[in-house]
Amino acid sequence: MTESTAEGFATRAIHAGQAFDPTTGAVVPPIYQSSTFVQDGVGGLRGGYEYGRSGNPTRTSLETVLAALEGGDRAFAFASGLAAEDALLRSALRPGDHLVLGNDVYGGTHRLIQRIHGDWGIRNTAVDLTDLDAVRTALATDGTKLLWIETPSNPLMKISDIAALAELGYAAGALVVVDNTFASPALQQPLALGADVVVHSTTKYLGGHSDVIGGALVLREGELAEKVGFQQFAAGAIAAPMESWLTVRGIKTLDVRLRRHSENAQAIAEALVGHPAVENVYYPGLPTHPGHELAARQMSAFGGMLSVALKGGPDAARRFVESTAVFQLAESLGGVESLIGYPSEMTHASVRGTELEVPANVVRLSVGIEDVRDLLADVEQALERRG
Ligand SMILES: *Cc1c(COP(=O)(O)O)cnc(C)c1O
């Protein structure tokens, strides 16, 4: 791994963990669709593989490339982003512990922490991560063991300062976790900025083709990595061979995809600013975005996600998402195809009435890598029809 981190990002994305198959010379490592592995006499394992829950070569190839891309020592691939999060929380926390999280984290993360781990005695405080004093105060709560960061945030694209937050977390003795799903390692490297653990929903940009659900944790060697490995093995929410293989395949084009996603999103954000139907555009690539300078420092491009608040309220927002043609109305994000969503009734329906509630006139766009003029024309015609 040390050897591969010396190579450039795009090279690592294509080659780390992807050595050709020694028995056939197949350039692409196979999908080892096997639940178990023959032993040459009791305990005589070939390559360390024994039973598919404890390890599978296709999963290893995914975990190896993920660690290389995030600059970590170890990666663990799970059946979903939330399964990865759950394994991390159970590895790092004990009943009675307290954690601090952003007040605009992914709704499913909030639900997991509040409703599942809350029931098992984990306390939490949600704060505005751009308010460092508020974070410092929350971290001073008795029993704080973990700080959960997500940037850019969903759906309002707030940018928080990973390096500054990592210092606060470190000073408070808290494990610093960054959900890097929205930026992907192509644009943002939390471990290099001081974080301890990176979390991914690989369902999104890493997979990149809307054909797989998966999650991952990346961290340095050490006690926590051992605990996470044990959780993965003992609780069993592993990434399956086919899913691992699809994710590896997606990762090979991560670098070029994220560049194109970012260019297309920038063009759409700029076209939406000042449009008579638009109240506000939330995109860190706009100089008017409050997190623009920080994002320019912390990320190598601004990514493919943007949100827009419409002047006509909830009705206009709903009409808009139901009027696009290239942008398809669906949950999720990060695929090559453009998607549009209405957070207050879709992705964020579960947080209505909480402090995580999203304004009902906000629409979220996952800008794909189609021809930008088709995307611009689609957004334009849908805005005309918003009513
Ligand atoms: C989708 C998502 C998750 C959850 O991942 P699943 O793969 O759906 O379980 C976590 N965090 C962020 C930022 C996400 O977008």
22-36 pLDDT tens trace: 899 999 999 999 999
pLDDT tens profile 300-317: 999 999 999 999 999 999
34 CA distance to ligand 1 middle (Å): 27
Q: What is the mean pLDDT of the chain?
A: 95
Distance 52 CA to ligand 1 centre (A): 24
Checking if the pLDDT of 5 tops 80, the result is: no
The pLDDT of residue 52 is above 60:
yes
pLDDT, mean of residues 175-191: 98
Residue nearest to atom 6 of ligand 1 (CA): 81
pLDDT band at 166 (very low <50, low <70, confident <90, very high): very high
pLDDT of 220 over the 50 cut: yes
Residue 90 pLDDT more than 70? yes
Between 347 and 224, residue with greater pLDDT = 224
Q: Where are the alpha helices (DSSP H) in 7-131?
A: 9-15, 57-70, 81-92, 107-111
204 is catalytic: yes
The residues, ordered by sequence, that sit 6+ positions from 227 with a Cβ below 8 Å of its Cβ are 91, 92
Q: Where in the chain is the domain with CATH 3.40.640.10?
A: 9-251
Residue 205 or residue 355, greater confidence: 205
> Using 50, 70 and 90 to split pLDDT, how confident is the model at 347?
confident
Residue 248, pLDDT score:
98
What confidence tens digit (pLDDT) does each residue in 110-142 have? 999 999 999 999 999 999 999 999 999 999 999
Atom of ligand 1 nearest to the CA of 214: 7
Alpha-carbon distance of 13 to 183, in angstroms, equals 15
Who lines ligand 1 at CB under 6 A? 80-82, 106, 108-109, 150, 154, 179, 181-182, 201, 203-204, 213, 215
* Whether the predicted pLDDT of 319 surpasses 60: yes
Tell me what the mean pLDDT of segment 6-27 comes to.
Answer: 94
Residue 209 pLDDT > 90, yes or no?
yes
Q: Report the percentage of the chain scoring pLDDT > 70.
A: 98
Which residues, 6+ apart, have CB-to-CB distance to 21 below 8 Å? 29, 30
Counting from 1 in the atom list of ligand 1, the atom nearest the Cα of 182 is 13
Domain 9-251: CATH architecture, name and number where available? 3-Layer(aba) Sandwich (3.40)
Taking the centre of ligand 1 as the mean of its atom positions, its distance from the CA of residue 157, in whole angstroms, is 15
- Among 53, 111, 220, 249, the active-site one is 53
Spatial CA neighbour of 331 closest among 175, 108, 72: 108
Specify the CATH architecture of the domain 255-384. Answer: Alpha-Beta Complex (3.90)
Atom of ligand 1 nearest to the CA of 83: 9
Residues of the chain with CATH 3.90.1150.10: 255-384
Q: In the prediction, which pLDDT does 346 show?
A: 85
Helices (H), the chain: 2-5, 9-15, 57-70, 81-92, 107-111, 132-139, 162-171, 223-235, 241-251, 254-272, 292-298, 313-321, 372-384
Report the separation in Å between the CA atom of 382 and the middle of ligand 1, taken as the mean of its atom positions.
28
Given 12, 59, 204, 257, which residue is catalytic? 204
**170 flagged as catalytic:** no
Active site residue 179: yes
What was the pLDDT predicted at 386?
55
Tens of pLDDT, residues 98-114: 999 999 899 899 999 99
252 a catalytic residue: no
* Exposure b/e, 91-121, CB count within 10 A at least 16 = b: bbbeeebbbbbbbbbbbbbbbbbbeebeeee
For ligand 1, the distance from its centroid to the CA atom of residue 182, given in whole angstroms, is: 9
